Structure 1
Amino acid sequence: MSTLTESAVRSALSRVEDPEIGKPITELDMVKSVQIDGSDVAVEIYLTIAGCPMRDTIEGNTRAVLEELDGVGSVSVTMDAMSDEQRKALRQKLRGDHSEPVIPFAQPGSTTRIFAVASGKGGVGKSSMTVNLATAMAKRGLKVGIVDADIYGHSVPGLMGSEDQQPTMVEDMIMPPIAHDVRHISIGQFVEGNAPVVWRGPMLHRAIQQFLADVFWGDLDVLFMDLPPGTGDVAITVAQLVPNAELLIVTTPQAAAAEVAERAGSISQQTRQRVTGVIENMAGMTMPDGSVMNIFGEGGGQQVADRLSVLTGAKVPLLGSVPLDPELRVHGDEGTPLSVSSPESPAAQAVNAIVDKLIVRKDSLAGRSLNLGVTRK
């Protein structure tokens, strides 16, 4: 008969992660106490705040790993909230000794790839494309985040089905809500109901800066930024704060929309950002008899890609054409992106084909320092 030890219990607890932070609770000093009485075990876990939205998840996962231990009898899991001093220590553990928040994605050693999703005009499905690309990548095991940078027209919480989730504050850090395995932040999570946001340029700049610096994103592989339509203040702010962000231009096949989308992409001439590609949304709709109806015309996406290739002097590819699909709208309204709810649909397959191209890095490591500590003599 095996005998339970505190070491075995803590080893099991190291498999439990705080969902908002993405690190083991043992590493975050969240295990308050471990008590063993024969085969019975009782643990008490610290939560970052008393009303932690992930309380049930942490409690359930803790109970699950303990019940898997050999020879365990009854399992008791209780919760307590961290003190102010403990939260300060946690903040320092996660953020270091920086007196002012820094934007981790703008640091030289950052490996996070940033896609700024832009459009020339509204109504082309830019936000729904952002959400579907992000969730499709998350399904492949990548760590993905979304910044809803469309302050006036924020829609990401609704599209992600997280309108009832609120960010958690730990000292001066913001823990973003998580839905469909994607961390995301939006001004919509801070305003009451459907209240409008009436801000001038400097406040927009500060909001984007806080979303990038004050939010704890963890180690992201990819960050999507859903930009507002056009080439205004937010587009300039993003270029300043994260100059390594790559532009994804979303348009529809309509010639008039393509012409406007071209302007959004040509901003790269001033900001020196790379245009990674063009996505044509609302392409031909497949009818029940198998025929295709081009409701918004055709060729707009390729037109934008060709024109931007000329303007930028670099090849800008058409990454894909996503067919017009009513289910894309239906699942967006329900907060269950098509990439998650109906992955076999033509639109979801088109999104996945675009993801195939985006997750392949074209940047070479040749000639770059890998910081391995090896010196030549």
Structure 2
Amino acid sequence: MKNIKVILSGGGTGGHIYPAIAIANEIRARYPETEFLFVGAKDRMEMEKVPEAGYAIEGLWISGLQRALTLKNLSFPFKVISSLFKCRSIIARFKPDIVIGTGGYASGPLLQVAVSKGIPSIIQEQNSYPGITNKLLAKKVDRICVAYDGLERFFPKEKLVKTGNPVRQDVLTIHSKRPEALAHFSLNKDKKTLLVLGGSLGARRINQLLKKELDVIQTHNVQIIWQCGKLYYDKYKLYGHTKDVQVHAFIKEMDLAYAAADIIISRAGALSVSELSLVGKPVIFIPSPNVAEDHQTKNAQAVVKEDAAILIQEADLDVDFENKFAQLMMSPERRQELGANIKAMALAQATKHIVDEVEKLVS
């Protein structure tokens, strides 16, 4: 397998973009002469993030179908038709040997055109509950790489390969970085550290929770690294007035944040769940209820089913948080058990295994 051409499509959120970039990086590491092209949605973050990673990208006029009745849905059929025509043009011009979709609006039209022309194709499904696009494409693509068990409920069993989700590689070495992490964040080694994550843009409900519960959390001799998100930093930065509460718009050195943490509060996006499995620390998942088909709740439930995390729904935070957090803080044994159980779910070589499947299809 050399001198091949690869089209990748994934976007809308970092959870679709970063796996596609990780797969491209692994292919390029093995086969430096490979030609790459990404296809994304014109007005989404992939149009910025993919060129930053060193790859060319073309944009489609495409967006998702809104769940509520809205005028935006009137343009949806025209966007799909426009995108299918543009994908035919892209594929005819680029002549890919394989097409890889990691989710997002643009991957649907691209994979549809690819399979109609008999081009080898792979879906990388990050979630425990697949979206409509991947369900529709499942019978047509050649391979479906998944991160959870039980997806034969949605996909043809013979096409499934459990690979896991690509994650940042520096997470694999956090256990040797704790002294460096404590120094980097100027933390007290005699206190437990709570890491709070709501994504790069932030999570409004998690931020509201932290503001309300700061005093209660600190009664447990806990120091806090709080990533409140860029959208909320101006509102919440004033709560980071002591060394025991650090408020960050965004944490660039996530490996050190994970290394410093003893307990983590997080959303339950597919990549977050995969990353936190590798981290192997006790986690309280607070899923976002505002994502398609309630993916985050289903991702968290798949972990909780293995007794590997705590799940609190947004609607239950005011009732459940103080009690569940206190129980976790008062039981070192429970923290150790949760950390060990989530670590047992980790799939550290996901990117490598996905590219192994690429090799099989184009060799």
TM category, shorter: 0.3 to 0.5
Task: Tell me the TM-score normalized by structure 2.
Answer: 0.38
**Structure with the greater alpha carbon radius of gyration:** 1
Q: Which structure's residues are more often strand, by fraction?
A: 1
